[in-house]
Amino acid sequence: MNCRKIQNFFQDYLDGEFQWFQNVFVDNHLKKCDRCKRELEASQKLVEKLNGMKKIEASPNFTQEVMNRIPQFQPGFCHILKELLDALIPQPVNRWAVATAMVAIIVILAITPAFLYKHLTDVESTVKVKFCLVMPEANTVALVGDFNGWDIKKMLMNKDQKGVWTAELPLKHGNYQYMFIIDRKTWLTDPNAIRYVDDGFGGQNAVIKVPHQGDSGNEDTRQYL
């Protein structure tokens, strides 16, 4: 278990939301890692300072005092637009309808290229990946890894009638380390992974390599949809 994973658990650890075995897991890591111990101590001091801060109540005249500090009216876009329409468009015409249409056209022309580019590049740069684990005796299985900050609450897998747990998520091209958490307490390395890497604590994380979309020359493609 690396330091980043441990530090992601600090909030629940300080809030007392961990069960006893999870506290033991974090405590054992803190005994070996001075860096995480300093990070936890800094977080504890910050929480204590925030809790000890004096609450300041606004004065009865707070709203009026704020309003008095607001600068006087300066002609804005709508005001300038109204004057321009008064000069260019005859009175019988619904000038504000014309103005609304003009503004809408300007906005659409401005955002459409950026929207289409972002939408198309997002679709093209991600691949849907399917993770599977056969474990009918488990009550819950969570998928954690680089793609969700190792947060056990973000990705609970679904179980079918045969006891096969699955989860699907879109991932961009790259390498991702991951593990399964069984019943919120037991960390399990994917036994069917093709790659593994040392987690720094005597264990191994599974590794999945996500190819570019349309790349069929990768041995991990069995996991891609």
Q: Tell me, what CATH number does 170's domain have?
A: 2.60.40.10
Do 34 and 98 share a domain, yes or no?
Answer: no
198 and 146 within one domain: yes
pLDDT of residue 26: 76
Burial class (CB in 10 A: 0-12, 13-18, 19+), 176: middle
Domains contained in the chain, number: 3
Indicate whether 147 and 219 sit together in one domain. yes
Same domain, 117 and 138: no
pLDDT, tens digit (0-9, with 9 covering 90-100), for 143-189 = 999 999 898 888 999 999 999 999 999 999 899 999 999 998 899 99
* 57 in any annotated domain: no
Judge if 131 and 106 occupy the same domain: no
Could you list the residue range(s) of the whole structural domain that residue 99 is in?
90-123
Give the Cα separation of 111 and 97 in Å (integer): 21
pLDDT band, residue 63 (cuts 50/70/90): confident
Q: Which span out of 106-120, 181-195, 202-216 was modeled with the highest average pLDDT? A: 181-195
Higher-confidence residue: 77 or 3?
Answer: 3
Nearest-angstrom CA–CA distance, 65 and 21: 54
Quick one: 33 and 113 in the same domain? no
Q: Is residue 119 part of a domain?
A: yes
User: Is the residue at 73 inside a domain?
Assistant: no
Q: How far apart are CA 18 and CA 195, in angstroms?
A: 31
pLDDT tens figures, 111-132: 666 655 555 555 557 888 999 9
Asked if residue 219 and residue 146 are part of one domain, the reply reads yes
Secondary structure class of 172 (helix, strand, coil): strand
Report the pLDDT value the prediction gives residue 138, as an integer from 0 to 100. Answer: 94
Instruction: Answer yes or no: is 83 within a domain.
Output: no
How many C-alpha atoms does 143 have within 13 Å on its Cβ side? 23
Are 140 and 94 part of one and the same domain?
Answer: no
